[in-house]
Amino acid sequence: MARIAVIGAGIVGLACAFHLRADGHEITVIDPAPEGDKCSWGNAGGIGVAEVVPAAMPGLFWRVPGWLLDPLGPLALRPAHAPRMLPWLAALASATRPKRMEQAAAALASLLGRVYADLCPMLAAVGLEGQLHRAGALTVYRKRLALYADRAEWDLKRRHGIVCEQISGAEARRLEPALGPDITFGVVTPAWSHVSDPKAIWAALLADARTHGVTVRQGKASDVRTEGRVQLASGEAVDCDAVVLAAGAWSAPLARQAGDRVLLESERGYNLTVPAPGVSLSREVIFAEQKFVATPLSVGLRIGGAAEFAGLNAAPNFARARALGKLGASYLPGLSLKGGLQWMGQRPATPDSLPVLGPSPRRPDIFYAFGHGHLGLTLAATTGRMAADYFAVRTPPVDPLPFSVARFN
Ligand SMILES: Cc1cc2nc3c(=O)[nH]c(=O)nc-3n(C[C@H](O)[C@H](O)[C@H](O)COP(=O)(O)OP(=O)(O)OC[C@H]3O[C@@H](n4cnc5c(N)ncnc54)[C@H](O)[C@@H]3O)c2cc1C
């Protein structure tokens, strides 16, 4: 049994705490605001097991100018932040090479293939198995050309064994009668699922941690250079035998202290959660052309998306959340946006869309568990399982090599 400090009380840190305390370790979770808003609270609630397609697809950069032209469109890059992003962008460009993209997709597929085997037992253990709705997802298109432009992505998914059923607009409306008449195609991915409320899962994991003797310590980890202790910004320290770094989009400076270069950006996403939308969906719907989603949650219909690169400290631009609501209403004609709650979250994004999972090559007492981008909720349980396997020296369920931090050096 070891004393393990888990840095970060997001869904990933708590899933690591869950698996590590189950192995009998003594866990301290450190977070400056353990019960404060975080990316894990307000996400779209999708269990996106079909998402093997990395952001860095060949041809990506041809599509970017069109997205950037719309100030409230799916992609935004704040000019003041752009120079600081150059190394990340260069790595993104390099990750679009077909061979690199195929490798990333295969690695993602290996992790995503584990999701239900790890997530279902974790949800059951915290009494939330009823929170998972295995209803599939429906991706919809207005234009034939847009579906045609996405064909490489659908082919890639199919090559990885993911069932993707193309249907007509009328069939899509039969599945989701709230959709408007201008939908001409849909693609059903039955393996997908969604949860009732991502924040409820986070809260149940936090409560479970406390019930099982995990110490949740308020504090900002400021220094991990000395083995055997995590220094806090307050001047106090947490003594430990090992560390799991799961601080989401804030992880890179701490990894750097351990001697590991990481390319990590905050990819900010927005959403609007409407408590009484006046329409109902029975599964997550993905609006392919404008790159946003709508998920029927217990707290309302959540309409969200966007990728905004502005750094960790820029003020949110909630006009994006409102714009997403309006877009939603253009697809779902009966949608009322009244009382919609605006939210912004910082996705921890790597240029190759792969999380950083595994030990620091220089500091084997530190396990990295961050960089989950769009898939942190989906991959949290599998990440926790891999962290526990590492400290128990068990063979992990998937090859950890593609996720090593060493790929950035
Ligand atoms: C709009 C949107 C929609 C999304 N939809 C989905 C979806 O449908 N499905 C899905 O799987 N994923 C989705 N995601 C992504 C998912 O939310 C994230 O990948 C996930 O929440 C990341 O979890 P995390 O625990 O790594 O980070 P976080 O939840 O951000 O937690 C990190 C924690 O680390 C703490 N921290 C920071 N610095 C320090 C420090 N120095 N010391 C100690 N603690 C520190 C922070 O306070 C925070 O509590 C979405 C994200 C967004 C923004």
Handedness of CA 186, 191, 195, 196 (dihedral sign): positive
Give the Å distance between the CA of 246 and the centre of ligand 1. 9
- Domain coverage including residue 247: 3-408
Q: Whose CA is nearest to atom 26 of ligand 1?
A: 248
Instruction: Kindly give, in sequence order, each residue whose CB lies less than 8 Å from that of residue 260, ignoring residues fewer than 6 positions away.
Output: 360, 361, 362, 368, 405, 408, 409
Q: Whose CA is nearest to atom 14 of ligand 1?
A: 374
Task: For ligand 1, pick from 377, 379, 386 the residue to mutate: most ligand atoms within 8 Å of CB.
Answer: 377
Report the alpha-carbon distance of residue 352 to residue 140 in Å, rounded: 26
- Give the number of residues written for the chain: 409
Residue 405 near residue 358 (C-beta atoms within 8 A): yes
Give the Å distance between the CA of 10 and the centre of ligand 1. 6
Q: Whose CA is nearest to atom 43 of ligand 1?
A: 31
Closest atom of ligand 1 to CA, residue 45 = 8
Give the Å distance between the CA of 182 and the centre of ligand 1. 35
In tens digits, the chain (409 residues) has pLDDT values of 899 999 999 999 999 999 999 999 999 999 999 999 999 999 999 999 999 999 998 888 888 887 887 777 788 888 899 899 999 999 999 999 999 999 999 999 999 999 999 999 999 999 999 999 999 999 999 999 999 999 999 999 999 999 999 999 999 999 999 999 999 999 999 999 999 999 999 999 999 999 999 999 999 999 999 999 999 999 999 999 999 999 999 999 999 999 999 999 999 999 999 999 999 999 999 999 999 999 999 999 999 999 999 999 999 999 999 999 999 999 999 999 999 999 999 999 999 999 999 999 999 999 999 999 999 999 999 999 999 999 999 999 999 999 999 999 8
Domain count for the chain, please give it: 1
- Would you state the pLDDT for residue 70? 78
Q: Whose CA is nearest to atom 35 of ligand 1?
A: 8
Give the Å distance between the CA of 11 and the centre of ligand 1. 7
Closest atom of ligand 1 to CA, residue 306 = 1
Report the alpha-carbon distance of residue 330 to residue 341 in Å, rounded: 18
Residues within a 6 A CB radius of ligand 1? 7-13, 30-33, 38-40, 43-46, 48, 220-221, 246-250, 269, 271, 304, 345, 347-348, 370, 372-378
Q: What is the CATH number of the domain that holds 72?
A: 3.50.50.60
Task: For ligand 1, pick from 7, 12, 29, 39 the residue to mutate: most ligand atoms within 8 Å of CB.
Answer: 39
Closest atom of ligand 1 to CA, residue 46 = 8
**DSSP readout, 237-257?**
EEE-SEEEE--GGG-HHHHHH
Give the Å distance between the CA of 357 and the centre of ligand 1. 15
Report the alpha-carbon distance of residue 274 to residue 327 in Å, rounded: 14
